[in-house]
Amino acid sequence: MTDPDYLSEVVRFDLPRLGEVRGLRGVHLQCHIGTDTISLARLGARMTGLDFSPVAIDQARALAERCGTPAQFVVSDVYAAADVLGPGAFDLVFTGIGALCWIPDIRRWAGVVADLLAPGGRLFLREGHPMLWALADPDGSGTLRVEHPYFEQVQPTRWEEGGTYVSTDVEFRHNVSYEWNHGLGEVVSALLERGLQITGLVEHDSIPWDGLPGMMAPIGGGELRLIDRPERLPASYTLQATKPL
């Protein structure tokens, strides 16, 4: 990211929908190491990245410094974001792909978004589609089944897998994770219940990772989709909502 014009593939994918962000006060929830945060800052937004991991935030700060891109990074649980950063402090709340699966309660999350936004501010969200999260190929035969919950459940889905989505030779010792799915209607309804107005919802047949190994192929721009009849599966979606004036 030393090229000052470089943008992360996640942000670049949604540029036609993102619109002008120059001068906006933006917060990136669950920012991880801040690549999307820095990309939005390069587009002119005054960005703050927030994540619960001090290690990730340290890396984000170091990356921003190396890139020479001004961005602020804060350690906080996402549910406490409005308390830490202040209510109504932002014109843009951004959430990148692969974030909502760590949220147990989507309605509580929607409340945080509404609290963070100033009147007239907007949410910009791209996420893996809940239909994708519900699928599995349990026996490795290449036949997909609806294997996991589509709707939010009190109890999470437990995974025990080595490694991570980042290419590395490091051997991980802690390989158990817990995730929650949230149906598309649940996400939309949670935002509506908090008074936000949905202004855009686009479903895509691609995602920026190999979500179904052996069944997906790259299509450029860091995106992959089903090899066989990709029109069958909504793999991700982009949602926008605004807070009324």
- Residue 182 to residue 160: CA distance in whole angstroms: 21
pLDDT-derived band at 1, boundaries 50, 70, 90: low
Task: Identify whether 117 is part of a domain.
Answer: yes
The string of pLDDT tens digits covering residues 182-202 is 999 999 999 999 999 999 999
Return the pLDDT at 71.
97
Q: Does some domain include residue 123?
A: yes
pLDDT over 90 for what percent of the chain? 87
The 10s digit of each residue's pLDDT in 143-155 is: 889 999 999 999 9
Report residue 187: phi and psi, to 5°: -65, -50
Residue 157: its pLDDT value, please? Answer: 94
**pLDDT for residue 103 is more than 90:** yes
Above 60 in pLDDT, residue 64?
yes
User: How high does pLDDT run on average in the chain?
Assistant: 93
Examine residue 133 and state whether it is found in any structural domain, yes or no.
yes
Q: How many domains does the chain have?
A: 1
Rounded to two decimals, the pTM is 0.93
Backbone angles phi, psi at 160, to 5 degrees: -135, 100
Q: In the prediction, which pLDDT does 63 show? A: 96
Non-local CB neighbours of 52 within 8 Å, separated by 6+ positions: 30, 75, 76, 77, 78
In a domain, 4, yes or no: no
**Residue 34 in domain:** yes
Q: Tell me, yes or no, whether 134 lies in a domain.
A: yes
Taking phi over 0 as left and psi of -120 to 50 as alpha, with beta for the rest, 32 belongs to left
Residues 10, 16, 18, 24, Cα dihedral to 10°:
110
CA distance 38 to 61: 10
In a domain, 3, yes or no: no
Predicted local distance difference test score (pLDDT) of residue 139: 80
Domain enclosing residue 88, as ranges: 9-242
The pLDDT, as a whole number, for residue 78 is: 97
**Choice between 169 and 12, residue whose per-residue pLDDT is larger:** 12
Question: For position 202, which CATH number holds?
Answer: 3.40.50.150
Residue that wins the pLDDT comparison between 146 and 169: 146
User: Looking at the domain assignment, is residue 109 inside a domain?
Assistant: yes
The mean pLDDT value for 231-245 works out to 97
Helices and strands in the chain: count of H runs, count of E runs: 8, 14
Q: Report the pLDDT averaged over residues 72-101.
A: 97
Residues 39-63 have pLDDT tens digits of 999 999 999 999 999 999 999 999 9
Q: Is the pLDDT of residue 212 over 90?
A: yes
